[in-house]
Structure 1
């Protein structure tokens, strides 16, 4: 199953945090680690890797820390995933470093390759800016009531809140 690694998850949290703090403000590793209760050493390694790849700029000193190297709208989730985890693949044979013994006989490789490409396109379209924008998501669920009247049953529907959360 395709899922984000802890490193990618932590990186997305950190980048989202940095984005919300503003383009010119530097944010320390310690601030991010404390805010999200992340392991400081692992987070430091992740941020160093993102800096090495040109996605962050670091500065030293008492007010040092990290800031984005470019607008958050230009940094994609797909780029972060590739930097930290390599090329994502939903099936084993699509990974760059593997060979499949069923390659010549496989009947699902092509459809799953197309699915994998669609997932990659979605990751490459979603920016850090998009994931850092706090919004309340409200999902409603239709509920149907049956009323008994003189002429029989009558259905009426209402939308009831099913879930409200911060996205």
Structure 2
């Protein structure tokens, strides 16, 4: 199952908050944390990671806090996810790691890497601005198989 970490959830919430409230200046980690009932220390760590990756600017002082480093239209959801969680993966193996016993015999590795690339492309195509205006997030058409899976029965 592909699943975003809690830290990534918090990062996206913070980025949306900053995009929505950027016109009034910087927001503190504490302000964002309180707004969404997130531990302040955890929010501060997430925001610092976003600063290190160049997605946020950090300002010191009494009117300090965090602001987007560039317009929301120029930041993708993929940027945020990778800033917090690192490179997107869907398999335990990677192109750099040949330690898996099945590496040379694996018949699904390459197709799964292509699927990962498609997922990353979709996440890169969705901007932070689209998250802010959630009515504009495009829906991805789903093609259903003609074969219906067997119903799950409990024993």
TM-score bucket (shorter structure): 0.7 to 0.9
Structure 2 unmatched runs, 5+: 138-155
How much does 1:82 deviate?
Answer: 1.4
5+ unaligned residues in a row in structure 1: which ranges? 138-167
Q: Deviations over 1:1-25 (max 9, x none)?
A: 2211111110000000000113562
Q: Distance in 1 between matches of 2:103 and 2:2?
A: 20
Instruction: Find the residue that maps to 1:31 and give its secondary structure.
Output: helix
What's the counterpart of residue 86 of structure 1? Answer: 86
Q: Distance in 1 between matches of 2:30 and 2:98?
A: 38
Contact 1:11 1:47 survives alignment (8 Å): yes
Residues 1:120 and 1:98: Cα distance change in structure 2 (over 3 Å)? farther
- RCO higher in 1 or 2 (8 Å CA, sep ≥ 6)? 2
Shift of 1:96: 5.0
**Which residue matches 2:6?**
6
In our comparison, the structure showing a higher alpha carbon Rg is: 1
TM-score (norm 2): 0.80
Aligned 8 A contact 1:29 1:40 in 2? yes
CA contact (8 A) 2:8 2:85 kept: yes
Runs (4+) of structure 1 exceeding 4 A deviation are 95-98
Structure with the larger strand share: 1
How is 1:8-157 mapped onto 2 (pairs within 5 angstroms)? 8-23=8-23, 25-94=25-94, 96=96, 99-135=99-135
TM, length-normalised to structure 1: 0.74
Q: Structure 1 residues 73, 99: CA separation in 2 closer, same or farther (over 3 Å shift)? A: farther
Root mean square deviation, CA, Å: 2.1
What CA distance in whole angstroms lies between the structure 1 residues aligned with 2:98 and 2:48? 28
**Cα shift readout 1:7-56 (whole Å, capped 9, x = no counterpart):** 11100000000001135621111111011100100110111111122111
CA contact (8 A) 1:87 1:96 kept: no
User: Which whole-Å CA distance do the structure 1 matches of 2:98 and 2:128 have between them?
Assistant: 30
